[in-house]
């Protein structure tokens, strides 16, 4: 008798498989365009795409291509189609068939907290990896207080983490006005009576109160020994600000990534901002200690995840290995960051308007606005 049992796999379970480097075979049944734009990726992930409508009358096409000796995860946009196809595959006699609970919607929204370090003042630094979107946010903990940098809109996941850590939220900070995802920083701060910080030059059109980020100011979380030092670093946006934490970690926002650099065109001012970007990367950052560990706000590929599961790189090493940091000719640099850029993020103008407080889309609309990968880097390969 055929085995008709299928199981569900949560986004958390899939993320931990990927972070642990375990093998995973995926059948993605979304349409070819959506699959080509954005998919689950990992070091040991094998994935094929057969659209749902090619399987609705029978799964023989899939049975010919999926392994019979390994678990198979079926993935679709929201869950329903993958459940149906997984059931058909199981009824055909295959065992170890599962589906992604909540589909790619849940994959896009899951945050995996990964500890970066114990800080010298007794606190902790965590990186929240939004593995399905390539977004990175940070939580600083010290003496029962917490601060969050570049908060994603799924604020409940941060709240649950702070409850486990028995920490009170005192600050939320955005390194810049984001264009690829909706910030949860303001909403989280308002809910918990914390202070929301934003660079003033990115906030000229905002409709809400915020605390200005100014170079040389200090934001304390718990012990005074754990201090966030804003470093004004324009380029990706005119107000982009990065931070040094504990004299060891450079939170670079979208200015500098591990394998690329930030794009300057998401406000339509690439030609105006390219000089700022070069000044930041080739002078401001160049004058910092080579031993600083760079912690960016995004990553482009799962291969950027380190052995411990977080994304980081020594600044001195990036100057040797990151192609965006070795363009000696200024004209060539200008051409690189203004021409042949990857597609702009999905609905980025609407996302910017939301982060400015000018529009207030509901939860479902926000989810649809964010679907797809981040595209904040110059080099997309």
Active site residues: 76
Cα(219)–Cα(246) distance, integer angstroms: 12
Give just the sign of the alpha carbon dihedral 140, 366, 178, 260.
positive
Integer CA distances (angstroms), 324 to 256, 280, 281, 306, 319, in order: 9, 12, 9, 20, 9
Within 10 angstroms of residue 283's Cβ, the number of other Cβ atoms is 9
Whether 71 and 92 have beta carbons less than 8 Å apart is answered as no
Cα(22)–Cα(96) distance, integer angstroms: 16
Per the structure block, which two tokens stand in for 266? Answer: 């998401």
Integer CA distances (angstroms), 33 to 28, 80, 180, 358, in order: 12, 19, 20, 31
Name the maximum alpha-carbon separation found in the chain: 71
Cα(348)–Cα(339) distance, integer angstroms: 19
Scan for tokens 């889309």, then name that residue: 361
Burial (0-12, 13-18, 19+ Cβ within 10 Å), 31: middle
**DSSP string covering 296-321, please?**
ESB-S-GGGB-TTS-B-EEHHHHHHH
Which helix (H) or strand (E) segment holds residue 82: the answer is helix 80-91
């Amino acid at each position: 008798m055929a085995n008709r049992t299928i199981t569900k796999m949560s986004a958390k379970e899939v993320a931990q498989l990927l972070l642990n480097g375990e093998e995973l075979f995926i059948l993605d049944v979304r349409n070819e365009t959506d699959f080509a734009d954005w998919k689950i990726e990992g070091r040991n992930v094998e994935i094929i795409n057969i659209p749902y409508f090619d399987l609705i009358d029978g799964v023989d096409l899939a049975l010919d291509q999926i392994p019979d000796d390994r678990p198979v995860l079926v993935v679709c946009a929201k869950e329903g189609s993958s459940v149906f196809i997984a059931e058909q595959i199981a009824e055909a006699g295959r065992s170890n068939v599962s589906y992604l609970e909540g589909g790619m919607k849940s994959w896009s929204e899951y945050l995996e907290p990964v500890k970066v370090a114990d800080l010298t003042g007794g606190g902790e630094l965590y990186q929240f990896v939004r593995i399905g979107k390539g977004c990175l946010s940070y939580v600083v903990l010290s003496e029962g207080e917490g601060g969050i940098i570049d908060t994603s809109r799924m604020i409940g996941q941060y709240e649950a983490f702070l409850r486990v850590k028995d920490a009170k939220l005192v600050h939320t900070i955005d390194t810049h006005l984001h264009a690829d995802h909706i910030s949860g920083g303001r909403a989280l701060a308002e809910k918990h009576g914390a202070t929301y910080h934003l660079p003033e030059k990115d906030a000229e059109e905002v409709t809400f109160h915020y605390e200005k980020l100014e170079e040389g100011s200090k934001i304390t979380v718990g012990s005074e020994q754990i201090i966030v030092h804003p470093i004004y670093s324009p380029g990706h946006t005119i107000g982009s600000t990065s931070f040094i934490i504990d004299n060891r970690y450079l939170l670079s926002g979208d200015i500098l990534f591990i394998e690329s650099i930030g794009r300057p065109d998401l406000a339509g001012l690439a030609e105006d901002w390219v000089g700022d970007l070069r000044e930041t990367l080739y002078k401001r950052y160049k004058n910092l200690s080579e031993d600083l560990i760079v912690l960016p706000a995004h990553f482009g590929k799962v291969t950027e995840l380190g052995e411990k599961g977080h994304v980081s790189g020594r600044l001195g090493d990036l100057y040797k290995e990151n192609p965006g940091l070795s363009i000696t000719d200024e004209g060539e640099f200008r051409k690189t960051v203004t021409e042949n850029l990857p597609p702009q993020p999905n609905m980025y103008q609407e996302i910017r308007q939301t982060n400015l407080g000018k529009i207030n889309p509901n939860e479902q609309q926000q989810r649809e606005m964010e679907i797809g990968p981040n595209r904040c880097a110059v080099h997309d390969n």
